[in-house]
Amino acid sequence: MSYIIMGVSGSGKSTVGKLLAQKLQLHFIDADDHHLAPSIEKMSQGIPLTDEDRAEWLRKLNHLLLEAEKTRQEVVMACSALKEKYRQVLQQNLENELKIVYLHGDQELLQSRLGKRKGHFMPAALLASQLQTLEVPHNALKLDVVNSPEVLVQQIQEGF
């Protein structure tokens, strides 16, 4: 069974996802690496993505998860997956249910982490729209990112 590490920009999906994959010796997929070029351009300019912008991207990510399942590979995927219907696309046609980890945190904390992050296309100004778009998942392990990445990974290992 594969893991989806989800949450708004700055919640630590990439950091925690990479560390979890390292600990469990699983392949790590960062959904950010699979956005269409126009979507990266849009976000770089501070324009939030629409459902339409995300549709093909989510299908591509679902395809990667299906491929992994076919070869009996478990993967860790860091993906914003902000809406329930996006998470449904990710899960589409998979035999095994995805293990969803929802990273949440205080807006000020997330804003300050994004402000300090270097060399990333996503501007901190998009956090507010990300939080507005977010539909909190009901079927996820919910973790507060006030904790360190190491503690979060331990909580994930103990939580499933």
82 binds, among ligand 6PG, ligand ADP, none (CB under 5 to 8 A by kind): ligand 6PG
Q: Please identify, using beta-carbon distances, which residue of 9 and 62 lies nearer to ligand 6PG.
A: 9
Residue 39 in contact with ligand ADP, rule: CB under 6 A: no
Residue 69 in contact with ligand 6PG, rule: CB under 6 A: no
Exactly one of 23, 34, 117, 142 binds ligand ADP (CB under 6 A); that residue is 117
Nearest approach in angstroms of CB 104 to ligand ADP is 11
Strands (E) across the chain are located at 3-6, 27-30, 75-78, 99-104, 141-144
Residue 149 in contact with ligand ADP, rule: CB under 6 A: yes
Identify the sign of the CA torsion 58, 44, 118, 106: negative
Q: Please identify, using beta-carbon distances, which residue of 66 and 151 lies nearer to ligand ADP.
A: 151
C-alpha triplet 66, 79, 133: angle, nearest 5° = 125
Q: Which residues bind ligand ADP (CB under 6 A)?
A: 7, 9-15, 78, 113, 116-117, 145, 148-149, 152
